[in-house]
Amino acid sequence: MTEHSGAAPASGAADISPRRAWTLVLASLGVFMTALDTLVVTTALPELRVSLHGSLSDLEWTVNAYNLCFACCLLTGAALGDRFGRRRMFSVGLGVFTAASAAAALSPTVGALIAARAVQGAGAAMVMPLTLTLISTAFPAEKRGMAVGIWGGITGLAVASGPVVGGAVVQGISWHWIFWLNVPIGVLLIPLVASRLRESYGPSPRLDVIGLALAGAGFFGVTWGLVRANAAGWSSGEVIGALVAGAALVGLFLRWQTRALAPMISLAMFRRRGFAAANGVSFFLYAGLFGALFLMAQFFQYAQGLTPLQAGLRLLAWTAAPIVVTPLAGQLTDRLGNRPFLIAGMLLQTAGLAWVATIAKVHTGFTEMGIALAVAGVGTSLVFATVSNQVMDSVPSDDVGIASGTNSAIREIGGVFGVAILASVFARPGAFTSTAVFLDGFRPALAVAAGFSGLGALIALAVPRKAIGSPLASSQDHLGVVHGGAVSVET
């Protein structure tokens, strides 16, 4: 059965239909796979170095190759879904991700692993934005907060599980099984997606090939510069050239979008206060979150001498909170709106990370550290679903695919930015041979992560106060509906 409109009919029914339940389950499982692999490698890096005889730079690329391709291809994944069908491209993305996971598990060299991780990132870029689009088009506005809350809780579970799964699998079996775990899940999901989900398309029947090329190349340049900054230096010609070229190509992409017959993104979206503010919050949320998580895993292992599994278990004090808090926050946004949760969440993440930066020592007990991490985790949990809900509520129903891809790209670039900046603040000679030197870099880096979160809290103040009742309400109430000079919105 095919739907040529991306919107699901509004319904006041209390029960979730079987079709919507399948959409929520399958989309959540898809996002679980991709989010898990964002962090699953972090606690396995020492084992990978020994097994594959890789350098420190090689090991960094096992993390960065995934995030790099993920960030560069997100807009492309959303656009392909709008053009060729969201269900179809969701299935294709799952297939690419599953095949790349098998290739990563079979990698004989670190170079082969890096290449497989890059393909994994490209597959994830098709899956991630389409999961949110599928949910947003399946559920009416009055139930969307609940659905996105569950989706966010599953995402939080994946983030929480990543370091623990990586550490447990490495210690209990071998690093290869970090990737083998994805294969049976993907093989099961693909036929279920084909048989249980409705097909839907975006509003434009054309594919903006020039826009795809400009956006992909531009995001590649920016993210390459950020990823390479720590190793090559911020003043190196490689980094400056990549950042300048990437920024110029992104500028050309934005200019092209004002002229393209089938634009990938509407710049008018950013005239909507709720949409612009939500994307700003996303950027700084993930800049603080990913940067701090990357260093926290190293703190537990290098400064406190813990095993990978022990480090992953201690990180649960931070990362497990979304499993419970995010779905509850998602349900409450349907009545209270998104703004209170965005502000409170970013403030709590700020406080938690600042607390960690203050108390981090070799012999800091887990009780004190765990409480600080839990404060940050509750804050992160309050924002996970509500920021995505705000993005979806801020645009007309026809634009949810574009909005999801835009938000996902900004979020991932924020994560890459955070890791790059915090790594630069942290880096100094002898950081991994002297505990004192490690802590001298770790504490100011965590303070920077807290600063990023504080900026996100300030931006959250710009989110409209009024609880959103429909996708149209945000644009009508605050800035007027403007989309390429004309709008056709289903209500």
Q: How confident is the model at residue 452 (pLDDT cuts 50, 70, 90)?
A: very high
pLDDT at 57 over 70: no
E-state strands within 298-446: none
CA dist list (Å): 125 to 359, 405, 484: 37, 9, 26
Q: How confident is the model at residue 101 (pLDDT cuts 50, 70, 90)?
A: very high
CA dist list (Å): 237 to 240, 244, 245, 419: 5, 10, 12, 20
Average model confidence (pLDDT) for the chain?
78
- Which string of DSSP letters, residue by residue, matches 53-97? T--HHHHHHHHHHHHHHHHHHHHHHHHHHHHH-HHHHHHHHHHHH
Give residue 240's pLDDT.
Answer: 93
Q: How confident is the model at residue 350 (pLDDT cuts 50, 70, 90)?
A: very high
CB atoms within 10 A of CB 172: 9
Report the CATH number of the 19-195+262-478 domain: 1.20.1250.20
Q: How confident is the model at residue 488 (pLDDT cuts 50, 70, 90)?
A: very low
pLDDT at 329 over 50: yes
Q: How confident is the model at residue 375 (pLDDT cuts 50, 70, 90)?
A: very high
Give residue 324's pLDDT.
Answer: 75
pLDDT at 176 over 90: no
pLDDT at 479 over 60: no
* pLDDT winner (highest mean) among 136-145, 152-161, 299-308, 469-478: 299-308
Q: How confident is the model at residue 358 (pLDDT cuts 50, 70, 90)?
A: very high
Which one-letter DSSP state was computed for residue 206? S
Q: pTM above the 0.85 mark?
A: no
- CA dist 463 and 2 (Å) reads 35
Answer with the residue of higher pLDDT: 231 or 95: 95
Give residue 485's pLDDT.
Answer: 31
Q: How confident is the model at residue 204 (pLDDT cuts 50, 70, 90)?
A: low
Q: How confident is the model at residue 6 (pLDDT cuts 50, 70, 90)?
A: very low
Residues 247, 221 contacting (CB under 8 angstroms): yes
- Which string of DSSP letters, residue by residue, matches 216-234? HHHHHHHHHHHHHHHHH-T
Domain boundaries, the chain: 19-195+262-478, 208-261
